[in-house]
Amino acid sequence: MARIVMKFGGTSMAGIERIRHVSALVKREAERGNQVAVVVSAMAGETDRLVQLCREAASLYDPREYDVVVASGEQVTSGLLAITLQGMGVNARSYMGWQLPIRASGHAAALIDHIDAAVLERVFQTGGIAVIPGFQGVTAEGDLATLGRGGSDTSAVALAAAMKADRCDIYTDVDGVYTTDPRIVPRARKLDLITYEEMLELASVGAKVLQTRSVGLAMRTNMPLQVLSSFEDRPGTLIVGDEAIEDREMERNVITGIAHDKNEAMVTLTGLPDRAGTVAEIFSPLAEASINVDMIVQASPRRDAESTLTFTVPRASLAHSVAELEKVKEKIGFADIVTDTNVVKISAVGVGMRSNAGIAAQMFRTLAGRGINILAITTSEIKVSVLIPEEYTELAVRVLHTAYGLDAEDAA
């Protein structure tokens, strides 16, 4: 017998037909002899609709009342799922965040502080199934709180950790995590296993299947996650710790996946004076403005010569970044600010990189072979990223996928 949290996303809960199907999956899991708790999202599109209603009501709304409005989508689906399960003869009941409780602080992007598992233990002891709305908690003041968009994934992982579950299954509309975006590379393969760290790197560079925060929480609590489809009946991708895949290392590729991210813009400052403190003077105002700088490249032809600094910021923060830099331009004494939004960041990710040399060189060679110019580079222990002109996105992802041996054998 295993203890499992099953979490269903918005497309899995979109309408009574879908909810009936979800009920059947839950019932089957329970009939295998497992203890099951279910976490649900609002119906697809519902949270967007509720957020829009708040905006229409007032441009500056109270976050406490926003939470009251947007948390309602999950209340509806958890009640409906409990009703359909009961209709199938399953002993199921919904429990709102405040009924457990799921303690949280803040509004609109609240953090979970603590979950009391006592109620759930009692439900398990009586052979019941608890259906819990994702995305919500209750503050110390007794108010509703929501966890930020996509927060149901985090609810599910936090609940799984609190009830010491053996696994947290995240049912969605894709059947797992792929080596790259299958819309770009038809030969992308579904991964059986991926580590938390790899998943975090792939998510942060634009391969969004799970809310990043939920993966971080799973890593800290060492909770095995499985991403799978509620539409197709086959195993998904298991997300686990490094140690859990060590013995499989031999069979694994050095590179696990290739991600691309079009959300960055490149900023280049020319004619920077060569003296201590210049870089600090540039990045401090950006940090104060909460602008997240990602890749950084600085070069000067020789000592005492003017240098060039290139870095990337989120596209949405570009105008803000330029405004901040204009303010310090005279004081620092650089020549120009040049920006480029037609760029993409391509990343190769894999824990196998730790024990294999030459991964970056292979990437540069592969791109050079196609005449693709690299504008900036960053590396971490398990990731190499390059910034290239946006028009080469598809080509770069495809040739790297092939070069690192990721293509599926049977062509799709």
Three-class SS of 160-225: HHHCCCCEEEEEECCCCCECCCCCCCCCCCECCEEEHHHHHHHHHCCCCCCCHHHHHHHHHHCCCE
Q: Coil, strand, or helix at residue 119?
A: helix
Stated as kind and residue range, the H or E segment containing 226 is strand 225-229
- DSSP-assigned beta bridge partners for residue 146: 136
Q: Please state, in angstroms and rounded to a whole number, the distance separating the CA atoms of residues 153 and 377.
A: 32
CB of 388 to Mg ion, least distance (A): 30
CB of 397 to Mg ion, least distance (A): 24
Contacts of Mg ion in 300-359 (CB under 5 A)? none
Contacts of Mg ion in 1-30 (CB under 5 A)? 9
Closest CA to 386 of 288, 334, 283, 312: 312
Q: Which lies closer to Mg ion via its Cβ, residue 48 or residue 143?
A: 48
Residues within the interface to ligand ASP (CB under 6 A): 10, 41-42, 47, 73, 134-135, 149-153
Residue 150 found at the interface with Mg ion (CB under 5 A) = yes
Instruction: Decide which of ligand ASP, Mg ion, none touches 42; Cβ closer than 5 to 8 Å per partner kind.
Output: ligand ASP
CB of 150 to ligand ASP, least distance (A): 4
CB of 363 to ligand ASP, least distance (A): 34
Q: Which lies closer to ligand ASP via its Cβ, residue 7 or residue 383?
A: 7
Instruction: Decide which of Mg ion, ligand ASP, none touches 151; Cβ closer than 5 to 8 Å per partner kind.
Output: ligand ASP
Q: Which lies closer to ligand ASP via its Cβ, residue 8 or residue 404?
A: 8
Task: Kindly state the tokens that stand for 261.
Answer: 């991210």
Q: Which lies closer to Mg ion via its Cβ, residue 97 or residue 150?
A: 150
What is the bridge-based pairing of β-strands 35-40 and 129-133? parallel
Side chain identity at 137, as an amino acid letter?
G
DSSP 115: E
CB of 227 to ligand ASP, least distance (A): 14
Instruction: Decide which of Mg ion, ligand ASP, none touches 97; Cβ closer than 5 to 8 Å per partner kind.
Output: none
- DSSP-assigned beta bridge partners for residue 247: none
CB of 10 to ligand ASP, least distance (A): 5
Q: Please state, in angstroms and rounded to a whole number, the distance separating the CA atoms of residues 401 and 187.
A: 9
Region of 110-118, 146-154, 251-259, 328-336 interacting with Mg ion (CB under 5 A)? 146-154
Instruction: Decide which of Mg ion, ligand ASP, none touches 236; Cβ closer than 5 to 8 Å per partner kind.
Output: none
Three-class SS of 13-70: CCCHHHHHHHHHHHHHHHHCCCEEEEEECCCCCHHHHHHHHHHHHCCCCCHHHHHHHH
Q: Which lies closer to Mg ion via its Cβ, residue 150 or residue 257?
A: 150
Q: Which lies closer to Mg ion via its Cβ, residue 150 or residue 236?
A: 150
Q: Which lies closer to ligand ASP via its Cβ, residue 114 or residue 208?
A: 208
CB of 228 to ligand ASP, least distance (A): 16
Residue 73 found at the interface with Mg ion (CB under 5 A) = no
Answer yes or no: are the C-beta atoms of 362 and 297 closer than 8 Å: no
Q: Please state, in angstroms and rounded to a whole number, the distance separating the CA atoms of residues 224 and 188.
A: 24
Closest CA to 106 of 73, 144, 132: 144
CB of 153 to Mg ion, least distance (A): 6
Instruction: Decide which of ligand ASP, Mg ion, none touches 403; Cβ closer than 5 to 8 Å per partner kind.
Output: none
Residues engaged in binding Mg ion (CB under 5 A): 9, 150
